[in-house]
Structure 1
C-alpha cells in the first residue's frame, strides 16, 4: 500500500519543521518569534486542511472571546464550546457541508485540548491571585502560591491566544503543551545556552527505523483487505495472526510522528527547562523553588531536559509487562491533559474515572469501533490485576520472571485485539473481525478472571481454616 497524498504532505511538513524550529530558536525578540511561529502554523493548516481551515479559525476565535469576556467561568464555557463544536465538526457532511479530511481532524483534536487547557490556566491564575490577596493562609502556603503564580501563572492578550492556537510546533501531531510552556519558549533566557542539536539527534536516532517498519508492514498488510470476503475465507490462524502486523503498522506510524514532533519541540527549544527544576510531562517544572533559585542567580548555563514535551515512551509501550504500564507510556501529554483538566476537576471521586474515560472516548471520535475498544480495557485490567495478586507472589524469582513474560504476551495480544476497533472504526466491521476469531481475547480475559477469582477464593478459605 502506498502512502496517501495527505500522508506524504504530513510527513513532508514534519521534516520541514525541524530546520524551521532551529531558525525560530535563533530569533531573540519574543514578539517576532511568536509571529513567525504562527505564520508558519497558519500556512501549514491552510496546506493540509484547505477549506476546512475555517473550523480551527472559528474554534480559536470564539474561545479567545470567551476567555476575554469572562475569566471566572471561561474554563466551563470553553469546555462546552469546544466539545460542542466537535459534534458539529464530525457531522458536517450531514448538514450539506464537505466531510472533513484526516489532517483537519488531527488539527481540531489538538486545538480542542489547547483551548480548553488555556481556559483552565487563565482561570487557575485568577484563583491563585484571589487566594493570595485573601491573606488567609500561612507563610509557607503563601510562598508556594507566589511561586506557582510566578512560574505557572498566565495573562495572555487576545493576540497571544490566537498565536498560541496556531503555533506550528505540535500543530499537526502534538504533543499537547500548556500556554505557559509556549510563553516560556518565547521569553527564554539565553536560548543559545539551551541544547537542541544533541538531544534532538539522540531522540531522532530510532525514527528512521520506525518509519521503515511502517512502510514495510503497511506494504504487505492492509486494512482494506480485512473487510473482504477473501480475508474471511482464510484459515483461523491467519485471521488471528493478522491483527499483530496491523497493530505494528499503527504503532510505528504513531511512533514516527510523535518522535518527529518531539524533535520539532527540541529544535525550537520548546519545553526545555533546567533539570534541577524536575520537569514533568505536560506540566513543566515541578520544583519551583529550584527554578526560582536558578532565576535569581541567573544561572541559565545549566543542564536541561525536554521531559515536558516527552509524549511517547516506546520502551514502556513495547516492554512494560502490563496493559496499565504500557498505556501510561502512550500519548503521555494527552494523559496529562485528561488527568489535570478532567480527572482532578470532577468533584465526585466515585465517577472520576468513568467521566475521564467518557471524555477521552468522545475526544477520540464518535466511531463505534473506538467505544468497542475502550470497553475491552476495564476487563483486561481486571484480569491482569487478579492474576498478579493471586499467583505472582507464589513463585520464585525465576518463576516471577516467566510469569511477567506471560503477562507481557497477554498485554501485547490484548492491545493487538483492542486496536482493531480503532482501525476498523465501524461496529459491524469490528464485530465481524472479532467474531471471525471467535472473540478470542474476550474469551481469554473472561477465563483469566474466573480462574483468578476461583484460586483467590480457595486461598482465602484455606487461610481461614488454618
Structure 2
C-alpha cells in the first residue's frame, strides 16, 4: 500500500486538490462582494499552482502576467495576434526547457500551463472579436449593424476588461488545474448575473460525482493487475504475441479511467461554485454560455424553475 502511495504521490496530491476545490465551492459562492470573490479565487488559484508546481510555478504565473500586459499594451485591434505568438512561443520554450538548460516541469504543471495559454489567448480573441462585431461595423452603416442583430449579436457589447480583471480571469481557481476552458464572458457573468443563486449547485455536483468512485476503482484494479512496469520486464517479452499485443489496450483503458476521474472532478469544481449557470432558454453551449437572447438573459431575473447550469 505504501509503495503504491509513493508511486502515485503526485496523482494523489492532484486529485486531493481537485476534491478540495470542489468542497470549497459552496463557501466561495457565498462570499458577499464581487471583489471578495475575485480576489479569493485568484489567491486560491495561485496557491494551487505553487502547491502543484513548486519552483516550476514561475512558468504559468510569469507567462500569464506577461500575456496580460501584452493585451493591454497593444491595441484591441492587434492584441490577439501579439498574444497568440507570445503565448505559443513561451509554450514551445516550456515544453523544451531541457534543451535550453532548464529542468522540465511535471505533467500536472503542463496541464496548468495549457489552461493559462487558452485563457490568455482566448480573452484576447474575445476582445478583438467584440471590437470587430460591435465597434467596427458602426463605421460601415446601419446595414452591417442590422446583420449583427439578425444573428442575435453574439458580441452585443465591447469586451475590454481592465488589467486586474484579466489577472483574475487568468488565475481563478475554477478550472485551473484540469479545465474546463470557459470564456471571459462566462467568467464575468458569474460575478454580475444572479442565476447561480437559483440553481441547485449541490445537487448537480453530487450527481456528477457519483461516477467518480467507479472510475477510481477501475483505475486501481487495472493498475494492480496489469501494471505499466511489467512491460519493461523480461517475463513480458517471453509472453505470447497476442498477450503482448493486447497489454497496451488494458494500459490505455486504465489511463482513460484516470482521465475520466480528473475531468469529472474538474467539472464538479465548476458546478460546486455555480460557474456557468444560465436559463435553459439561452440554448447554452459548452464553455460559451447563451447562444440566443443574451441581452434578455442579462436583464431578466428568471425564476428557479427555469434556471440550470451550463454543461461544461
TM-score, normalised by the number of residues in structure 1: 0.62
* Contact 2:199/2:308, CA 8 A, preserved across alignment: no
Task: Give the Cα separation in 1 of the matches to 2:145 and 2:12.
Answer: 57
- Deviation digits for residues 225-276 of structure 1, max 9, x if unmatched? 2233332221112112212221111111111011111111001011111111
- Taking the TM superposition and a 5 Å limit, the aligned residue runs for 1:32-47 are 32-47=36-51
Distance 1:24 1:252 in 2: 29
- Superposition pairs for residues 118-197 of structure 1, below 5 Å? 118-134=123-139, 135-137=141-143, 140-144=146-150, 147-150=153-156, 153-189=158-194, 191-197=196-202
Query: How much does 1:302 deviate?
Result: 4.0
Report if the CA contact (8 A) 2:201-2:272 is conserved. Answer: yes
Contact conserved, 2:137 with 2:144, CA < 8 A, in 1?
no
Partner residue of 1:301?
304
Q: Distance in 2 between matches of 1:231 and 1:244?
A: 15
1:284 aligns with 2:286: no
Residue 284 of structure 1 aligns to a residue whose secondary structure is coil
Aligned residues of 2:279 and 2:302 also touching (Cα < 8 A): no
Please give the alpha-carbon distance, in whole angstroms, between the structure 2 residues aligned to 1:130 and 1:279.
25
Distance, in Å, in 2 between the alignment partners of 1:305 and 1:241 is 43
Q: Is the 8 A contact 2:195 2:302 kept in 1?
A: no
Q: Aligned with 2:35: secondary structure?
A: helix
Seen in structure 2, the aligned counterparts of structure 1 residues 176 and 297 have a Cα distance that, compared at 3 Å, is closer
Instruction: Show CA shifts across 1:311-351 (max 9, x none).
Output: xxxxxxxxxxxxxxxxxxxxxxxxxxxxxxxxxxxxxxxxx
Partner SS for 2:155? helix
Structure 2 residue corresponding to 1:271, chosen from 273, 276, 281? 276
More divergent stretch after superposition (238-247 vs 292-301): 292-301
* Cα 1:161–1:21 shift into 2, 3 Å: same
> Hey, what's the Cα distance between the residues in 1 that align with 2:181 and 2:195?
24
TM-superposed CA distance for 1:300, in Å, is 4.6
Q: TM-score, normalised by structure 2?
A: 0.91
1:312 match: none
Instruction: State how far apart, in whole Å, the 2-side matches of 1:189 and 1:307 are.
Output: 14
Which of 220, 230, 252 matches 1:247? 252
Q: 2:266 aligns with which of 261, 268, 272?
A: 261
Aligned structure 1 segments of 4 or more residues deviating by more than 6 angstroms:
none
5+ residue gaps, structure 2: none
State the distance in 2 between where 1:278 and 1:173 align: 25
| Alignment correspondent of 1:337 | none
State the 1:146 CA deviation: 7.6
Q: Which has the larger radius of gyration?
A: 1
Equivalent residue, structure 1, for 2:225: 220
What SS does the corresponding residue of 1:137 show, helix, strand or coil? helix
Q: Deviations over 1:142-196 (max 9, x none)?
A: 4257843347x52211111111111111111111111111111122315321220
For 2:33 and 2:52, how far apart are their aligned partners in 1?
Answer: 29
RMSD across aligned C-alpha pairs, in angstroms? 2.0
Number of positions where the alignment pairs a residue of Structure 1 with one of Structure 2: 306
List alignment gaps of at least 5 residues for structure 1: 310-466
